[in-house]
């Protein structure tokens, strides 16, 4: 198996298109055509993790956080980032990151937290906009199903939990083939009028290229008429954070202590308890303070995340309880999820979960 196959699976799991602008997910070090001997999964990629990969004979490290966020001008070993890259290159170890794209998918980082805390029927807290498009094309009536099915197979027509969604309307198309054309219907130099169907399907932007390829390959016309329009609708399965409900109401302090235990947290920073019952809970793995207003607006009783600044605790303002459980702690179980997913996909290859605790923060 080559690294490209691993990258293709990770792209299926969390498309790279969905990473934030500042992010650097994907293959950071290595060759797509390199053969895989073993995979090591970790939250972070630090020197001790590379050493562990060498010891376990793994030549691929998949980390949630990318070791490189911005461009490097020299590799002298002057800092931990450069040392990691140099050691990886010297030992032919590929470095792959799957970061905010995994944060932004429905089954990613935040779903892992929800599952661990027993949060039921979780939905995206802040769905993304600007990532949906509408594809419109015109098809001769006898070829409608062939083309429509090809588009569905390529991933078009997904609306939330519904697949193969489309709309069609009947009309008539006209065209005159030139002397150099090779028409499947009609004759050169003669205007043709054909009963056609206008077919409309939703397209996720990162699938556009493969869907258009499916259209061109399945459509009978030499020159296919098609248009793509931007859609302002939010994508219900892509975005930041998640929100759901507990099976029953819980006491605030008891729930906070249970979160501390379940998430294996040394200390939980929190705002004052409000003497209310907890039922609706919002979560965001990693730095999620930017979602506080969204959690309040959605009616969450508690918001679990990390990296809140001092003044942001005041913004809770008696409307919600903030549980700041720590960045590492909120995402640490993501590695296990990736390890299990990769093992199921590639059962004949060794996929290891790193035993290195990479959290740079310590407590006394």
Q: Show pLDDT as tens, one digit a residue, over the chain (364 residues).
A: 999 999 999 999 999 999 999 999 999 999 999 999 999 999 999 999 999 999 999 999 999 999 998 888 888 999 999 999 999 999 999 999 999 999 999 999 999 999 999 999 999 999 999 999 999 999 999 999 999 999 999 999 999 899 999 999 999 999 999 989 898 888 999 999 999 999 999 999 999 999 999 999 999 999 999 999 999 999 999 999 999 999 999 999 999 999 999 999 999 999 999 999 999 999 999 999 999 999 999 999 999 999 999 999 999 999 999 999 999 999 999 999 999 999 999 998 899 999 999 999 999 8
Q: Residues spanned by CATH 3.40.1390.30 within the chain? A: 3-99+333-353, 109-125+239-325
Angle (CA) 151-239-323 rounded to 5° is: 155
How many CB atoms are located within 10 Å of the residue 195 CB?
A: 11
How many CB atoms are located within 10 Å of the residue 213 CB?
A: 12
pLDDT at 301: 99
Burial of 57 (0-12, 13-18, 19+ CB in 10 A): exposed
pTM of this prediction exceeds 0.85: yes
Rounded Cα–Cα distance for residues 201 and 218 (Å): 15
Rounded Cα–Cα distance for residues 331 and 112 (Å): 9
pLDDT at 71: 85
Q: How far is CA 181 from CA 188, 190, 195, 197, 322, in A?
A: 7, 12, 20, 22, 66
Rounded Cα–Cα distance for residues 324 and 284 (Å): 10
pLDDT at 188: 92
Packing angle between helix 334-345 and helix 3-13, nearest 10 degrees? 120
Burial of 71 (0-12, 13-18, 19+ CB in 10 A): exposed
How many CB atoms are located within 10 Å of the residue 100 CB?
A: 24
Rounded Cα–Cα distance for residues 358 and 185 (Å): 64
Q: Residues spanned by CATH 3.30.70.120 within the chain? A: 130-233
Strands laid side by side in the 192-204 sheet: 167-175, 192-204, 132-140, 226-231
Class of domain 3-99+333-353: alpha beta
Q: What are phi and psi of 296, to 5 degrees?
A: -65, -45
Query: Where would I find the beta strands (DSSP E) of 23-119?
Result: 26-29, 39-42, 60-63, 94-97
Of 72, 84, 88, the closest CA to residue 3 belongs to 88
Rounded Cα–Cα distance for residues 215 and 220 (Å): 10
Determine the CATH number of domain 109-125+239-325: 3.40.1390.30
Residue owning tokens 């990479």: 358
The CATH architecture assigned to 130-233 reads 2-Layer Sandwich (3.30)
pLDDT at 184: 87
Packing angle between helix 47-55 and helix 80-90, nearest 10 degrees? 20
Per DSSP bridges, beta strands 277-287 and 235-251 are antiparallel
């Amino acid at each position: 198996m080559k690294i490209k196959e691993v990258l293709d699976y990770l792209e299926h799991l969390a498309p790279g298109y969905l990473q934030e602008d500042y992010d650097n997910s994907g293959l950071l070090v290595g060759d797509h055509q390199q053969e895989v001997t073993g995979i090591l999964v970790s939250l972070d990629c630090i020197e001790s993790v590379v050493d562990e990969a060498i010891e376990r004979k793994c030549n691929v490290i998949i980390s949630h956080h990318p070791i490189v966020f911005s461009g490097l001008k020299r590799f002298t070993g002057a800092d931990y980032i450069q040392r990691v890259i140099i050691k990886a290159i010297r030992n032919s170890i590929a470095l792959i990151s799957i970061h905010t794209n995994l944060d932004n998918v429905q089954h990613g980082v935040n779903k892992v937290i929800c599952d661990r805390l027993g949060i039921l029927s979780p939905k995206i807290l802040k769905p993304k906009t600007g990532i949906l498009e509408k594809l419109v094309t015109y098809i001769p009536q006898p070829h409608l199903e062939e083309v429509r099915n090809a588009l569905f197979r390529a991933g078009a027509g997904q609306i939330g939990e519904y697949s193969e969604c489309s709309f069609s309307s009947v009309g008539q198309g006209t065209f005159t083939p030139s002397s150099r054309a090779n028409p499947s219907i009609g004759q050169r130099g003669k205007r043709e009028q054909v009963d056609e169907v206008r077919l409309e399907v939703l397209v996720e932007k990162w699938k556009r290229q493969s869907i258009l390829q499916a259209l061109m390959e399945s459509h009978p016309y030499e020159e296919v008429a098609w248009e793509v329009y931007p859609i302002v609708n939010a994508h219900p399965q892509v975005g930041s954070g998640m929100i759901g409900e507990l099976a029953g109401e819980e006491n605030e302090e008891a729930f906070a202590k249970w979160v501390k235990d379940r998430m294996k947290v040394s200390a939980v920073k929190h705002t004052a308890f409000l003497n209310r019952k907890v039922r609706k809970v919002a979560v965001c793995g990693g730095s999620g303070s930017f979602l506080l207003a969204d959690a309040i607006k959605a009616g969450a009783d508690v918001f679990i995340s990390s990296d809140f600044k001092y003044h942001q605790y005041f913004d809770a303002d008696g409307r919600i309880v903030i549980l700041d459980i720590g960045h590492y702690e909120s995402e640490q179980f993501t590695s296990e999820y990736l390890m299990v997913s990769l093992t199921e996909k590639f059962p004949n290859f060794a996929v290891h979960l790193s035993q290195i605790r990479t959290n740079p923060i310590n407590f006394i």
